[in-house]
């Protein structure tokens, strides 16, 4: 929250709505970031510097025993946010993997927190690049124990990048289809969300044993060695369609329907109200802050997640730090 060397990364997704371009907005990160380790606040850049959405671990939604993913509905009526929303059409789905022949060798990049940077004055995302190494394989996710599917990515990572969005992309002429005897497709550009980074493959590294650093010891030709656990340089990514499945949970779908119905009633009420000039001097006219607060409280009621007792009434709104 304060830009210190702790926490993880998250990103924003906008789901389509039936009532026009307003959409439904969500924060997305790992379960182990927002819930298990308690890094539940969201820090965003604004025109006036970084601000914070203050949430608790209980506010985030996660399927117990499933993928290391957590999401949270957001009310973003504040102005001045410097935010990029990933539209749901950019989330990779299983059918597209076959249609676009997405697989080993494709280029990817990840956007996340490099915690060694001085991030106290503003969020400074750092990019890392690599390639898909394998098609999705079953890997037990350490935070949940779930043996879910993960892409194995040839890309270095480190603490702070957990929860980062990982994109797969192609530029014109970068496809290797010609090597398989296929005709080159001139319109082969591609950009979509491959998934969410949750961890790295661990690797046992054999080193010479040093006094005072006793570990799993082996002896080879008269010399003593020990094994330490390090990172293999292979990053693990949960496919984007698993995020879509969580966002399409029955309770979240129902929440979106109620939110759209609430918007429709508000529009109908606004259409039936007298011109602004007639109520400009009225003390009963609600302020933007009051409307945003009422919207947030309605969403929390729908979610069945009441604010914590110590929270301020407008806790889900952006806080000035």
- Bridge partners of residue 10, in order along the sequence: none
pLDDT at 310: 35
pLDDT 10s digits, 151-165: 999 998 877 889 999
Write the burial class of residue 265 (CB in 10 Å: 0-12 exposed, 13-18 middle, 19+ buried).
exposed
Q: Give the C-alpha separation, 246 to 60, whole Å.
A: 12
Of 28-37, 256-265, 310-319, where does mean pLDDT reach its minimum?
310-319
pLDDT 10s digits, 212-254: 444 444 445 555 666 666 566 789 999 999 999 999 999 999 9
Percent of the chain with pLDDT over 70: 64
Residue 81: both structure tokens together: 């946010």
pLDDT at 78: 63
Average pLDDT (52-77) is 90
Q: State the DSSP string of 162-200.
A: TT-EEEEEE-TT---GGGGTPPP-TT--EEEEEEEEEEE
Higher pLDDT, 208 or 283: 208
Higher pLDDT, 110 or 266: 110
pLDDT at 4: 58
Other C-beta atoms closer than 10 Å to the C-beta of 283 total: 5
CA atoms within 13 A on the CB side of 207: 13
pLDDT at 97: 92
pLDDT at 315: 38
Higher pLDDT, 297 or 9: 9
* Per-residue pLDDT band at 173 (split at 50, 70, 90): low
pLDDT at 282: 47
Q: Give the C-alpha separation, 150 to 91, whole Å.
A: 15
Higher pLDDT, 39 or 173: 39
Other C-beta atoms closer than 10 Å to the C-beta of 63 total: 15
Backbone phi, psi, residue 89, to 5°: -70, -15
pLDDT at 109: 95
pLDDT for 271 beyond 50: yes
pLDDT for 287 beyond 60: no
Average pLDDT (135-150) is 93
CA-wise closest residue to 200 among 141, 149, 242, 241? 141
pTM, two decimal places: 0.72
Largest pairwise CA distance in the chain = 94
pLDDT at 113: 81
Secondary structure class of 239 (helix, strand, coil):
strand
Checking 135-139 for CB contacts under 8 A at 24+ apart, the result is 135/103, 135/104, 136/239, 139/201, 139/236
Other C-beta atoms closer than 10 Å to the C-beta of 256 total: 19
Residue 121: both structure tokens together: 């004055």
pLDDT for 303 beyond 60: no
């Amino acid at each position: 929250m304060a830009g210190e060397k702790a926490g993880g990364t998250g990103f924003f997704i906008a789901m389509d709505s039936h009532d026009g371009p307003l959409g439904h907005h969500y924060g997305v990160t790992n379960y182990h970031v927002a819930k298990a380790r308690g890094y539940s606040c969201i820090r965003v850049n604004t025109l006036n510097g970084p601000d914070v959405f203050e949430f608790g671990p209980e506010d985030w939604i996660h399927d117990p025993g499933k993928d290391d993913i957590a999401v949270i509905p957001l009310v973003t009526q504040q102005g001045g946010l410097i935010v990029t929303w990933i539209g749901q059409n950019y989330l990779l789905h299983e059918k597209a993997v076959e249609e676009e022949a997405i697989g080993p060798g494709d280029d990817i990049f990840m956007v996340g927190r490099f915690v060694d940077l001085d991030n106290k004055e503003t969020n400074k995302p750092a990019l890392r690049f690599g390639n898909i190494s394998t098609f999705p394989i079953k890997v037990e996710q350490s935070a949940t124990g779930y043996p879910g599917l993960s892409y194995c990515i040839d890309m270095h990572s480190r603490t702070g990048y957990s929860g980062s969005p990982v994109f797969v992309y192609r530029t014109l002429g970068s496809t290797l289809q010609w090597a398989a005897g296929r005709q080159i497709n001139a319109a082969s550009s591609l950009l979509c969300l491959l998934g969410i980074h949750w961890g790295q493959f661990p690797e046992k590294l054999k080193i010479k044993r040093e006094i005072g650093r006793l570990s799993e010891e082996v002896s080879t030709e008269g010399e003593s060695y020990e094994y330490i656990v390090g990172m293999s340089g292979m990053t693990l990514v949960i496919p984007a369609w698993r995020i879509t499945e969580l966002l399409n949970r029955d309770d979240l779908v129902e929440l979106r329907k109620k939110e759209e119905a609430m918007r429709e009633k508000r529009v109908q009420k606004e259409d039936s109200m007298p011109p602004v000039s007639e109520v400009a001097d009225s003390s009963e006219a609600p302020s933007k802050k009051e409307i945003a607060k009422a919207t947030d409280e309605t969403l929390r009621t729908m979610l069945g997640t009441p604010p914590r007792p110590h929270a301020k009434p407008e806790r889900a709104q952006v806080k000035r730090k």
